[in-house]
Amino acid sequence: MTVNRRTFLGASVAAAATLQAPAVLGAGKPRVVVVGGGAGGATAARYIAKGSKGEIDVTLVEPSRSYYTCFFSNLYIGGFRELSSIAHSYGTLASQYGINVVHDWAVGIDRDARTVTLAGGAVLPYDRLILSPGIDFVEGAVEGWDVSAQNKMPHAYKAGSQSELLKAQIEAMPEGGTFAMIAPPNPFRCPPGPYERISMVAHVLKEKNPTAKIIVADPKPKFSKMALFQEGWGNHYDGMIDWIGPDFGGDVVSVNPDAMTVTIDGEETKVDACNVIPAMKAGRICEMAGITEGNWAPVDGRTMQSRMDENIHVLGDACAQGDMPKSGFSANSQAKVAAMAVRAALTGSKMFPAKFSNTCWSLIGTDDGVKVGATYEATEEKIAKVDGFISQTGENAELRQATYEESIGWYAGITSDMFG
Amino acid sequence: MRFWGGTLIVWGALTGVAWADETAVQIGDAARGEQLFEQCAACHQVGEGAEHGIGPHLNGIFDRKVAQFEDFSYSEGITRARRDGMVWDLEHLDAYLNNPKVLVSGTNMEFAGLKDPQDRGDVLAYLRQFSASPQDIPEAAPTALAEEFELPPEILAIVGDPDYGEYLSTECTTCHQVDGEYDGIPVITGWYEEDFVLAMHAYKEKIRPHPVMHMMAARLSDEEIAALAAYFGALE
């Protein structure tokens, strides 16, 4: 049965008043509310609905009707994908899986009453809550920048209009102009992401504005796939990219969005486009729920349950779980473990040992793809790495092309795994 | 009795048995192989003046990277194997002759396979006469055959738990699409269970090329591979 949004909301508000005992004890179908419709949340909602075959009532709360994946948004910036090709809607999850999709913001969580309050006023009761809200930015992380400056100096680290803005600004740079990126400190969403983005910016500039310069100020001495990126930058964009690590003041940075200047280690530079990627933290709803420790929400990797509330599971970028990188692939992998654990708790279905994996593909230039990946298992203490691999420097062009083509296949795979 | 042709050499390595050049034996009887080759000849030519037919000619195939002829139109599957760096050395030729689909998903080679290792050895001994590089005697890798090991029949006899397979499959479906769409990553639904089991063991033993699959298969137990085969085999 498919429940449309209006009837669902009406029913759930009425139910909130009467439903006191946990649904699992016999007061009707158990309810799962999922907050966030990205790689973690959409996957979890789909797997719970699919696996429970109607035994669990699943509600997915996601503000966007059109969801743009962060993964592959760099390829849009580089001109390898259309923006529309990374946009997805929730129609199939609603119509084929019977998920109640609610396009609204979750603005409050009452852990004692086990309810989620939405901006529109609805109150959703849950037996289990899954939070997969992605990231927010740490205030004051980059001196001179806050979110009110995100139109002048976009972060483009939540895909969609920010990606469009950044792409337009790169393409509008004057001949021989300067592009700057302020790279984030660890841990952050998509570890190779800033460096793939630099590659894509360089690709665009090399074609349209070959005398332009790229400056990267980075607080980290090392970054993901560093040798592969540096080799690729030398091969494709020799002399164009100036990466400034902490040894040369890349960690002492301020920006002035009104004057369009960047100051690195006391030296001010006028820039024509600037991508500020600030330090990150769990999506704010985690803080509001009171389940964060520092910037992130700690979880037990065996079930992805919050260490602070067993009725809440936290997925993806927002959680602190151990060794897995913050990536869409990781969130998708964690969602399946959480879905299994939620079903086991609410309907008594089988529980198997948690297994996780991740692979991150990055595009350096045309047909020049690289990848890094690992497998993981859950221990009592954390999600621990088991095995891994990484592309090698000096690989031949045919293998790099195959790696890129494989990433296109992966995109089709994971998005159909998320959205049905 | 079943033989696990594809992983003979690796099993030897894993179990501490010396590698091929110390335990080399003649790979087979070329004269008998010539007769057996008649069933291949409808598609493949070999020898002086050989040309491509339905399949490519087989002169010089030993120790050559797969799918190397620019004037032959290869399947997507074999092209991918080339990109992954697969080489037609003895162990890969042997595995391919045993069951082409197990080594290369999506190959155009419509051949059920030679199940008897002696048959394969004989055919390969015949083909080997038309490959320049490995004609040096005494035989050594890539042409020498190591001692044979059987895959314990109980591995192929394991009945997979499809429920467990369904859970395990969720790791696969991040990349491989359940509805069987092909967008650059191979289709894994609807395989015969035995082919699936053999292919996964071939990844686990690194006979099939591909680093992601080596990593994924490495931590799967025999029971888990059987469970995945049972689950995916039942999907349309």
Q: What are the chain B neighbours of A413 within 8 Å (beta carbons)?
A: 173-177, 183, 185
Are B5-135 and B153-234 the same fold in CATH?
A: yes
- Fold for the domain defined by A140-278: FAD/NAD(P)-binding domain (3.50.50)
Percent of chain A residues topping a pLDDT of 90: 92
Q: Does the structure show a pLDDT above 90 at B149?
A: no
CA distance A158 to chain B (A): 21
Mean pLDDT over A138-154 rounds to 97
Distance CA A249, CA A345 (A): 51
Distance CA A416, CA B172 (A): 13
pLDDT recorded at residue B65: 86
Give tens-digit pLDDT for A97-118: 999 999 999 999 999 999 999 9
* Annotated domain spans of chain B: 5-135, 153-234
Mean pLDDT over A52-58 rounds to 95
Specify the range with the lowest mean pLDDT, choosing from A148-157, B11-20, B97-106, B179-188.
B11-20
A361 and B CB contact within 8 Å: no
Q: Please, where are the H alpha helices in chain B?
A: 8-14, 20-23, 30-36, 76-83, 90-98, 100-103, 117-128, 153-157, 162-172, 193-204, 211-218, 222-234
Q: Kindly indicate whether the domain formed by B153-234 is annotated with CATH number 1.10.760.10.
A: yes
Mean pLDDT over B192-220 rounds to 87
Q: Which residue of B lies nearest to A357 if distances are taken between CA atoms?
A: B171
The reply to whether residue B215 touches residue A350, judged by beta carbons under 8 angstroms, is no
Average pLDDT, chain B: 79
CB B98 within 8 A of CB B201: no
Q: Does the structure show a pLDDT above 50 at B148?
A: no
pLDDT recorded at residue A274: 98
Q: What are the chain B neighbours of A410 within 8 Å (beta carbons)?
A: 174-175, 184-185
Residue whose pair of structure tokens reads 């042709």 in the numeric block = B5
Mean pLDDT over A214-230 rounds to 97
CA distance B78 to chain A (A): 13
pLDDT recorded at residue B181: 79
Q: Does the structure show a pLDDT above 60 at A7?
A: no
- Fold for the domain defined by B5-135: Cytochrome Bc1 Complex; Chain D, domain 2 (1.10.760)
pLDDT recorded at residue B130: 84
In sequence order, the 6+-apart residues with CB closer than 8 A to the CB of B112 are B99
Percent of chain A residues topping a pLDDT of 70: 94
pLDDT recorded at residue B89: 85
Homologous superfamily (CATH) of A5-136+281-353 is: FAD/NAD(P)-binding domain (3.50.50.60)
The reply to whether residue A408 touches residue B183, judged by beta carbons under 8 angstroms, is yes
Mean pLDDT over A22-29 rounds to 58
Q: Which residue of A lies nearest to B77 if distances are taken between CA atoms?
A: A402
CB B109 within 8 A of CB B100: yes
pLDDT recorded at residue B140: 42
Mean pLDDT over A202-206 rounds to 98
Is the CA virtual torsion A295, A299, A301, A305 positive or negative? Answer: negative
The reply to whether residue A417 touches residue B184, judged by beta carbons under 8 angstroms, is no
Q: Does the structure show a pLDDT above 50 at B137?
A: no
Q: Does the structure show a pLDDT above 90 at A382?
A: yes
pLDDT recorded at residue A27: 60
Q: Which residue has the higher pLDDT, B91 or A344?
A: A344
Q: What are the chain A neighbours of B177 within 8 Å (beta carbons)?
A: 412-413, 416-417
Residue A188 burial by Cβ neighbours in a 10 Å radius (0-12, 13-18, 19+): buried
A340 and B CB contact within 8 Å: yes
pLDDT recorded at residue A9: 41
Predicted ipTM? 0.78
Distance CA A152, CA A258 (A): 8
The reply to whether residue B219 touches residue A408, judged by beta carbons under 8 angstroms, is no
Q: What are the chain B neighbours of A47 within 8 Å (beta carbons)?
A: 170
The reply to whether residue B174 touches residue A333, judged by beta carbons under 8 angstroms, is yes
Q: What are the chain A neighbours of B167 within 8 Å (beta carbons)?
A: 336, 340, 350, 352
A406 and B CB contact within 8 Å: yes
* Confidence tier at A4 by pLDDT (50, 70, 90): very low
Residue whose pair of structure tokens reads 């179990």 in the numeric block = B15
Give tens-digit pLDDT for A350-376: 999 999 999 999 999 999 999 999 999
A392 and B CB contact within 8 Å: no
The reply to whether residue B85 touches residue A399, judged by beta carbons under 8 angstroms, is yes
Q: Does the structure show a pLDDT above 80 at B180?
A: no
Is the CA virtual torsion A136, A138, A142, A143 positive or negative? Answer: positive
Q: How far is CA A107 from CA A20, A60, A121, A289, A320, in A?
A: 22, 14, 9, 10, 22
A121 and B CB contact within 8 Å: no
Name the token pair of A258: 């009104």
Q: Which residue has the higher pLDDT, B24 or A123?
A: A123
Q: Does the structure show a pLDDT above 90 at A259?
A: yes
Q: Which residue of B lies nearest to A337 if distances are taken between CA atoms?
A: B167
Q: Does the structure show a pLDDT above 60 at A300?
A: yes
* Annotated domain spans of chain A: 5-136+281-353, 140-278
Q: Does the structure show a pLDDT above 60 at B147?
A: no
Q: Does the structure show a pLDDT above 50 at B24?
A: no
Q: Does the structure show a pLDDT above 80 at A327?
A: yes
* Confidence tier at B151 by pLDDT (50, 70, 90): low
Q: What are the chain B neighbours of A405 within 8 Å (beta carbons)?
A: 184
Give tens-digit pLDDT for A158-199: 999 999 999 999 999 999 999 999 999 999 999 999 999 999
Q: Does the structure show a pLDDT above 70 at A1?
A: no
A400 and B CB contact within 8 Å: no
CB A201 within 8 A of CB A212: no
Mutation choice for A interface testing from B65, B87, B174 by most A CBs within 10 A: B174
pLDDT recorded at residue B138: 38
Size of interface A-B (CB pairs under 8 A): 90
